[in-house]
Amino acid sequence: MKQLSKISILASLILLTAACSTYKWSTLSNDMSVEQVMQEKFPTLYAKSKAGEIIIDKVEQRVDKNGEIIFRVRYTKKTSDDDMDTFIQQTIYDPLLNH
């Protein structure tokens, strides 16, 4: 009886592990283009990327419980060097000129 309960616990752990691995995020497969996915699924982010406002870091995919492929985009906002120059001007140089 103890051996049967051990086997059932082991089988349930294996099934649980297999179910969790099904929903893991992975990078796009080789047959899919990042640019194509961005154009079709995320047109606003694609436009911002082409305008240079954001940088696309990673596009990932996974299969949901209904069997559909869903995508996730990771991106960072691009900051211009002019913003830093303005910040330095206002915080360091301008106060020094007033003395």
**pLDDT < 50 regions, the chain:** 18
4-30 tens-digit pLDDT:
676 767 666 565 554 555 568 777 766
pLDDT computed for residue 24 by the predictor: 80
pLDDT computed for residue 47 by the predictor: 92
Q: pTM score, two decimals?
A: 0.54
pLDDT computed for residue 46 by the predictor: 92
Whether residue 92 contacts residue 73, with contact meaning beta carbons closer than 8 Å, is answered with: no
